[in-house]
Amino acid sequence: MNPTLAFWKTFPRKSTFVFLAGVFFTFSTVGIASDLVEMGRQPALLYILMVLISGVFTASYAAAGLVFRKKMWKAFFPIFAVHMLLINLLHHWLPSFPPLVVMNAADVSHLQSRLSFDARCMLIAIALGYSCFVYVFVSEGRRYFRVHAEMELAAEIHHILVPPIDTKIGEFEFYGRSIPSGEVGGDLIDVFPNNSGWIAYVADVSGHGVAPGVVMAMVKSAARMQISSCEKSSELLGHLNSVLLPIKKPDMFATFAYLAWGGERLEYSLAGHPAMLLYQAATNEVSEVSCLNMPLGMFDQQNFDTASVHCAPDDLFLILTDGLLEVTNAKGEEFTLTGIKPVMLAHATAPLDVVFQSILDAVHSHGHAIDDQSMLLVRCHRDA
């Protein structure tokens, strides 16, 4: 969500009321100014109504802007039509008094008193309007900077939870990064060694912002607890599903993909996640590695299938999130795995950071990203 839109959506009602009151007082001076133009010849009722109308309708324009934003014109033109019609009707029903050709001392004194009253009213209205604006700017400025500071802290925590990966474990090499679409993302990449080998996984919690980021942190904690308990990797998805189901919003879920090396074979599974890509050095081809399972957190007591895959020297695995695949160009075409494969094939023998950057550059040249983007590369240097 756009930060500006999110800010206005959370705008407190009190501040909104004070802001509209500031608009009312500031623009009520238009009604007072009309009396100055008429040299104090407006009837008292017309004078009061013009002040009220000037303030109320300009506050209505401001309220329409807050409610409809980019579609403000839908409310602006009907309000403007009523505004102009009402002013014309009032001037027709309550015409100003005719100007005095000759003014005596009493008339001059009355005019001076009326204009002086108008001037004082304008000063008071401007002061009240300015005070309302100052209150809103100060109170909402404090709120904005407090939220901004909290978001910076959340972004720092996210960076700690999802750090860049560039490591080696035995004969395997790993490289990956997660790039959030905002301050906090819902993607997770991780590589965790255990007694018999390691497990590398990528998760993607649905949605954007702080809530998916919190769930992502829970997924990482639960995954590491499961892995460190030395239980079978085939039981990982079932355990994560039982943990995630009761702690998330009903409409949230998480996709998950992992590779696990136990010293004998390379196991994998995917839960609603995009297929992994495997570059086979022997044939110089890129193929998809997939496994049909539902995402995590959707149904209780799900069964998750696992499988194993052959890995030869210099073979390369790519696990990614759909934020890279759903990037759309000006024609509305998504990048998809079809766009990833030739880039991966062209750079498959390069260092992993070069492979990563080449794919990322190709995605960014295709279109603008609106979702978190994460990739984890795993290269084998032995016949596994």
215 and 119 both lie in a single domain: no
Average pLDDT in the 21-47 region?
90
271 and 214 both lie in a single domain: yes
Number of separate domains in the chain? 2
pLDDT digit string, tens, across residues 178-216: 988 877 778 999 999 887 789 999 999 987 777 787 788
Among 157, 195, 158, CA closest to 180: 158
pLDDT over 90 at 347, yes or no: yes
Among 186, 214, 170, 183, CA closest to 295: 186
Dihedral angle of Cα 320, 323, 324, 325, to the nearest 10 degrees:
100
DSSP-assigned states of every residue in 171-219 = TEEEEEEEE-SSSS-SEEEEEEE-SS-EEEEEEEESS-SHHHHHHHHHH
pLDDT over 70 at 150, yes or no: no
169 and 151 both lie in a single domain: no
26 and 87 both lie in a single domain: yes
- Among 107, 136, 156, the domain-final residue is 156
DSSP at 367: -
- Among 91, 121, 156, the domain-final residue is 156
Average pLDDT, the chain: 87
Strand ranges (E), the chain: 165-169, 172-179, 187-193, 198-205, 254-261, 266-271, 276-280, 285-289, 307-309, 316-320, 373-380
183 and 218 both lie in a single domain: yes
Q: Please tell me the predicted confidence (pLDDT) of residue 353.
A: 96
226 and 328 both lie in a single domain: yes
Q: Please tell me the predicted confidence (pLDDT) of residue 159.
A: 75
The more confident residue out of 158 and 24 is: 24
Q: Please tell me the predicted confidence (pLDDT) of residue 384.
A: 47
CA-to-CA distance for 220 and 218, rounded, in angstroms? 5
152 and 166 both lie in a single domain: no
17 and 86 both lie in a single domain: yes
Q: Please tell me the predicted confidence (pLDDT) of residue 284.
A: 95
Q: Which residues contact 206 (CB under 8 A, 6 or more apart)?
A: 186, 212, 251, 252, 253, 254
CA-to-CA distance for 137 and 118, rounded, in angstroms? 28
Q: Please tell me the predicted confidence (pLDDT) of residue 72.
A: 81
Note down the domain range covering 12: 3-156
150 and 201 both lie in a single domain: no
pLDDT over 50 at 312, yes or no: yes
Q: Are 164 and 187 in contact (CB under 8 A)?
A: no
**Count of Cβ atoms closer than 10 Å to residue 168 Cβ:** 11
Q: Which residues contact 365 (CB under 8 A, 6 or more apart)?
A: none
138 and 239 both lie in a single domain: no
- Among 156, 177, 212, the domain-final residue is 156
pLDDT digit string, tens, across residues 113-128: 988 998 999 999 999 9
Q: Are 258 and 301 in contact (CB under 8 A)?
A: no
Q: Please tell me the predicted confidence (pLDDT) of residue 91.
A: 84
Q: Encoding tokens for residue 29?
A: 């001076």
Residue ranges of alpha helices (H) inside 320-351 are 322-325, 336-347
Band of residue 161 on the pLDDT scale cut at 50, 70, 90: confident
DSSP at 343: H
pLDDT over 90 at 158, yes or no: no
8 and 104 both lie in a single domain: yes
CA-to-CA distance for 117 and 44, rounded, in angstroms? 12
CATH number for position 294: 3.60.40.10
Average pLDDT in the 364-379 region?
91
Integer CA distances (angstroms), 84 to 51, 154, 165, in order: 14, 50, 65
pLDDT digit string, tens, across residues 285-309: 999 999 889 999 888 878 899 999 9
209 and 289 both lie in a single domain: yes
Band of residue 9 on the pLDDT scale cut at 50, 70, 90: low
Q: Encoding tokens for residue 98?
A: 């005719």
pLDDT over 70 at 6, yes or no: no
Q: Are 174 and 166 in contact (CB under 8 A)?
A: yes
Q: Please tell me the predicted confidence (pLDDT) of residue 10.
A: 66
CA-to-CA distance for 265 and 285, rounded, in angstroms? 21
Average pLDDT in the 236-255 region?
87
Band of residue 1 on the pLDDT scale cut at 50, 70, 90: very low
